[in-house]
Structure 1
């Protein structure tokens, strides 16, 4: 899926109590392929890479499902149930559209009575449960970082978890001022951070909070001395048009 490949990198990481989403976005929404983090309900949010029209359709579906469930049961919709319903809806739509999948890839972060949950929803509607994952352009660099530190995430504090997600994102950043989808066009990148967890409703951090965590991540990265990919622009050149492989800490399908 070319549009999914061109969306900028987004990273999701889960600890025992929280889930963090971090995305590299653009200040302008003029690009067809894009990345963004969207709040769905107080216990749930998504990070989405791909076609902007598709993201509106899917986020509206999730919001309406949450509203209906909360109205009926006076509580938040169980995350696993909601994502299973989304996957079924996506697969049914594909069948109605002559096999054409959605041109988006999603990371879903939520918290309910079963604890924190992180899912990857593929363009085909296939769902994977993850401890950590990265999607979008140059995401292999982030996955390399996540794989290297996967055993530390469960015991992380919220601050540490956010810093790890930011360091993963750092490993995937494109060359400053350009994007492969818009050659010769200046691009202003913005880092977006969101968290949800125990005693923490889904929250998008302010610009000031993000800057604070970026500085904390720099200090943490200097101590850990993570290795950056030698040439992230070469990553993904040999990918085909099938769903990307969820090769970071996928615990069940």
Structure 2
């Protein structure tokens, strides 16, 4: 799930349950492409690794050539073109990933783009990819408003609420990354996520009580 706020962009993914002895750190679906751009993906992890590495090289070469970081649209277009080439190449198969690409342009504008395996890309205010994307997108269509993204905390809560539509067992299966203007990507730790989940549960209970009072 990706949501574009006023001065923040938030990415949230459902964490796969890992084997007991596996290092959790090595199973990541969110990664930085440059200081001002990051990406979340759904699909084949090995395919994503190739796309991410190519995109990172392109970001660095753009910095060396132009002496400016890439815009979010530029790197999205690069990734989409790479995917599209693989749909037409002989003896190759398309990349099996969809991606949400978020970040800030140098004028400080937050951006959110989505690309699919065919190589198309679009700009969004909020979107979801992967398993359960349809129900999450329906939730976002109902609940994404200017008030819902008024502050950074409200934007983060909106992403968590959207993920809780499809994620079982609350906050421990959620991974969240936030990016603010002129600040590097920050991955929230489980304690911070649980704090937000607890606040959401509390708000839900209060709303239920209000409804019951009105009904009685």
Quick check: TM above 0.5?
A: yes
1:27 offset after TM fit, Å? 4.1
Q: Are residue 77 (structure 1) and residue 70 (structure 2) matched?
A: yes
Structure 1 residue ranges without an equivalent (≥5): 1-10, 177-188, 226-253
What is the SS of the residue equivalent to 2:118?
coil
* Contact 2:167-2:173 within 8 A present in 1 as well: no
Structure-1-length-normalised TM-score: 0.71
Alignment partners' CA distance in 2, 1:69 and 1:216: 42
Is residue 103 of structure 2 the alignment partner of residue 110 of structure 1?
Answer: yes
Match of 1:28 in 2: 18
How many Å separate the matches in 2 of 1:43 and 1:219? 34
User: Within 5 Å, which residues of 2 pair with 1:51-200?
Assistant: 51-97=44-90, 100-114=93-107, 115-152=109-146, 155-174=149-168, 190-200=173-183
Structure 2 gaps of 5+ residues are 209-216
Which residue in the other structure is 2:2 paired with? 12
The 3-state SS of whatever aligns with 1:135 is coil
CA 1:76–1:218 in structure 2 vs 1: closer, same or farther (change >3 Å)?
Answer: farther
CA separation of 1:119 and 1:97: change in aligned 2, threshold 3 A: farther
**Per-residue CA shift, 1:227-248, capped at 9, x if unaligned?**
xxxxxxxxxxxxxxxxxxxxxx
Query: In terms of mean alpha carbon deviation, does 152-161 or 80-89 score higher?
Result: 152-161
Are residue 50 (structure 1) and residue 39 (structure 2) matched?
A: no
**What's the Cα RMSD here?**
2.4
Residue 209 in structure 1 maps to residue 192 in structure 2: yes
- More helix, by proportion: 2
CA distance in 1, matches of 2:73, 2:204: 33
Q: 1:209-235: CA deviations, max 9, x gaps?
A: 22222223333444567xxxxxxxxxx
**Residues 182-229 of structure 1: CA deviation (Å, up to 9, x unaligned):** xxxxxxx6311011132332221222222222223333444567xxxx
